[in-house]
């Protein structure tokens, strides 16, 4: 039983990571109609930035979290401005291909500078015991941190003027620009928020696993799976989908096979799309 509970905790923690990445992706995909395939690689850059700031510059973990989020938010704005904005109005597949170019650039750059996998120390290196479940404090930090960020994002979108503007653009781009919303600024803002969220996920997760240049590839595919299943642009769908995928994966690793842990999500996606080519839930489309 305690083994099962342990796997559930790991599943929730995996799910937290997936939710944070998938939320950014669903915002960009659903709101701006951009298949931002390089999102996972910006996550990877966030993890490496944490290594630089925390290990090389010896900055406190929590301050490093803030630095990474701000830096990656700026990187997100740059990507939107330099890569995706010139491609607006072109077939969607072109943005997808541009993202692949970006992926190759980021991955080669990082691997060229630092080919080895790195590890980041845990800010609080302790393990808690509770009812037969042992839990590293960092896992708890990931789980709680993710919840805080998800709630903050919800409040931002529902309660602030800028957040409402994002929703307006999502519902009707032309209508939004007619009532005076600067669509370009909202695009940049969406990218900033989404990329900062990915950076936060990377910083939370980094102490639990090695960081490597290819870590973003499989992650973004899983995020796509979540977004497609949960419905494009649906924040709720991304949250549920992310946690469910994390739990399924943790249980599959324990009870089926760990060698094939990365393929479950994709097999599920292919099966679902074979039956319903537009995804499980009706998103904005």
Partner 1 sequence: MGKSGRYVKASALLILLGIAAALPWLLGKYQVRILTLAMAWTIATLSLNLILGYTGQASLAHGAFLGIGAYAFGIMVQRVGLNFWISLPLACVVTALLGLLVGLPSLRTKGPYFAIVTLCFNVIILKVFENWNWLSGGIQGQVVPRPAFLTQRWARYYFVLAFLLLTLVAMRLIVKSLLGVTLMSIRSNEDLAEAVGINSFRNKLLAFVISCFVVGLAGALLALENGQLDFTITNYLYSFYLLIYLLIGGVATLSGPVVGTIGLYFLLDYMKNIGIKGVEEFRYFLFGLILLLVIIFFPMGITGGVKRAWEWARGRFRKGEAGEVAG
* Contact residues for partner 1, defined by CB under 8 A: 35, 83, 86-87, 90, 92-94, 96-98, 100-109, 111-112, 115, 218, 221, 224-225, 228, 259-260, 262-263, 265-267, 269-271, 273-274, 277
Tell me whether residue 8 or residue 87 sits nearer to partner 1 (CB atom).
87
Closest approach of partner 1 to the CB of residue 203, in Å: 25
Nearer to partner 1, 145 or 233 (CB): 233
Nearer to partner 1, 53 or 245 (CB): 245
- Write the CB contacts of 68 (distance below 8 Å, at least 6 apart in sequence): 46, 49, 50, 53, 199, 200, 202, 203
- The structure tokens 């077939």 sit at 91
Q: Which residues contact 261 (CB under 8 A, 6 or more apart)?
A: 249, 252, 253
Residue 263 to residue 137: CA distance in whole angstroms: 29
Cβ at position 20, least distance to partner 1 in Å: 20
- What's the number of CA atoms in the CB half-sphere (13 Å) around residue 56? 7
The secondary element (H helix, E strand) that includes residue 45 is helix 39-50
C-beta neighbour count of 5 within 10 angstroms: 15
Given the complex with partner 1, which of 59 and 97 has the nearer CB atom?
97
Task: Please work out, in degrees rounded to the nearest 5, the angle formed at the alpha carbon of residue 113 by the alpha carbons of 198 and 204.
Answer: 25
Strand, helix or coil at 130? strand
Nearer residue to partner 1 within complex by CB, 138 or 190 = 190
Residue 151 CB coordination number (10 Å): 10
Residue nearer to partner 1 on the CB measure, 74 or 109: 109
CB of 171 to partner 1, least distance (A): 21
CB of 282 to partner 1, least distance (A): 15
3 state SS of 118: strand
């Amino acid at each position: 039983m305690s083994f099962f509970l342990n796997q559930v905790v790991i599943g929730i923690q995996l799910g937290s990571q997936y939710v944070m990445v998938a939320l950014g992706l669903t915002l960009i995909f659903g709101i701006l109609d951009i298949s931002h395939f390089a999102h996972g690689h910006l996550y990877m850059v966030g993890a490496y930035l944490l290594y630089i700031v925390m290990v090389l510059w010896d900055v406190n973990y929590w301050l490093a979290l803030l630095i990474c989020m701000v830096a990656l938010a700026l990187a997100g704005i740059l990507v939107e401005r330099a890569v995706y904005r010139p491609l607006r109005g072109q077939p969607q597949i072109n943005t997808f291909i541009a993202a692949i170019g970006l992926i190759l650039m980021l991955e080669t750059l990082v691997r060229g500078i630092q080919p080895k996998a790195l590890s980041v120390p845990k800010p609080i290196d302790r393990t808690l015991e509770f009812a037969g479940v042992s839990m590293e404090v960092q896992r708890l930090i990931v789980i709680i941190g993710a919840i805080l960020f998800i709630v903050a994002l919800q409040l931002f979108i529902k309660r602030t003027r800028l957040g409402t503007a994002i929703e307006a653009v999502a519902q009707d781009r032309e209508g939004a620009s007619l009532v005076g919303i600067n669509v370009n600024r909202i695009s940049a803002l969406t990218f900033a928020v989404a990329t900062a969220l990915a950076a936060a996920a990377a910083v939370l997760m980094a102490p639990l696993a090695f960081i490597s240049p290819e870590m973003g590839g499989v992650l973004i595919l899983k995020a796509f799976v979540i977004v497609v299943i949960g419905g494009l642009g649906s924040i709720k769908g991304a949250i549920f989908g992310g946690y469910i995928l994390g739990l399924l994966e943790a249980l599959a690793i324990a009870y089926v096979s760990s060698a094939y842990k990365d393929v479950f999500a994709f097999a599920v996606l292919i099966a679902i799309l074979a039956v319903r080519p537009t995804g499980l839930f009706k998103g904005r489309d």
